[in-house]
Structure 1
């Protein structure tokens, strides 16, 4: 009888816990910010640069976070998630209005990592070309 009670207590203790995230599916990618410098006349545009950023992950249609990660200095991130539809909510680490990025919808298939690039806008625009 004591063994049965102990088993029931252990089972009850496990109820309500979130199952562990799968290791074979989720989303991975990079957080990048536009070059942030107006290019000189007739010069190629400034290249995008990696940006370390915070990513809050919610299920599609929900505001409740299922994961929150910070991308590395190289902008890379990898988040294990169960298959389904999610939204990535990016934020810069400085807490300032710029650079800014829009939410990114993501679909995760079983046994796959979906690859995305989260694009931040620096707010810096090309200078208009002066009239001749």
Structure 2
């Protein structure tokens, strides 16, 4: 599965309509982003059922600013519409695979309970 480009118009709908979404925030001038890109692309081929998305921080400055992206690459992971991971810096292939496994293993019902408790 190839990666998909996200914009401010497609960001929310992508997260809301998919169970597991990974998002790589990057820019063409960023050396670490360029090193992470093939790792991310290769992982997208190994993990069915996961949406691998990318946000070009230069092209999508409003979205990036709204999400307070201050360092790139930044990786976000969503499970059942909930942000469950956010980290700046690149990951190696094995680390990324491990993260994906952990995100898939999360209990969505438990995430809902935790979110409700935080709102109360």
Q: TM-score, normalised by structure 2?
A: 0.26
Q: TM-score, normalised by structure 1?
A: 0.25
Bigger share in strand? 1
Bigger radius of gyration among the two:
1
